[in-house]
Amino acid sequence: MEFDADIWRAAKDLIDLHGESAALRAAGRVAAFLKERDSAGAMIWTRVHGAVEELQRARREGEPLN
């Protein structure tokens, strides 16, 4: 199974390539894998999508960066 670091790296790369549309791109990949009935691929891209959203979300006031 993939390592968490790989998921976060993929999310960062997706953000670097697609900026604000990175989450939409990841969601598109999930949909494509589901259409192909590839549950393993969909699961991985669901995790990448979640990581993209976490990296791009606004920080709450007083929330530490790390």
In a domain, 64, yes or no: no
In a domain, 65, yes or no: no
Q: Which residue range(s) make up the domain with 22? A: 4-55
Specify the number of domains making up the chain: 1
Per-residue pLDDT of 47-64, as tens digits, reads 999 999 999 997 777 767
In a domain, 61, yes or no: no
d(CA 61, CA 35): 40
Per-residue pLDDT of 4-44, as tens digits, reads 999 999 999 999 999 999 999 999 999 999 999 999 999 99
d(CA 66, CA 60): 13
In a domain, 43, yes or no: yes
In a domain, 11, yes or no: yes
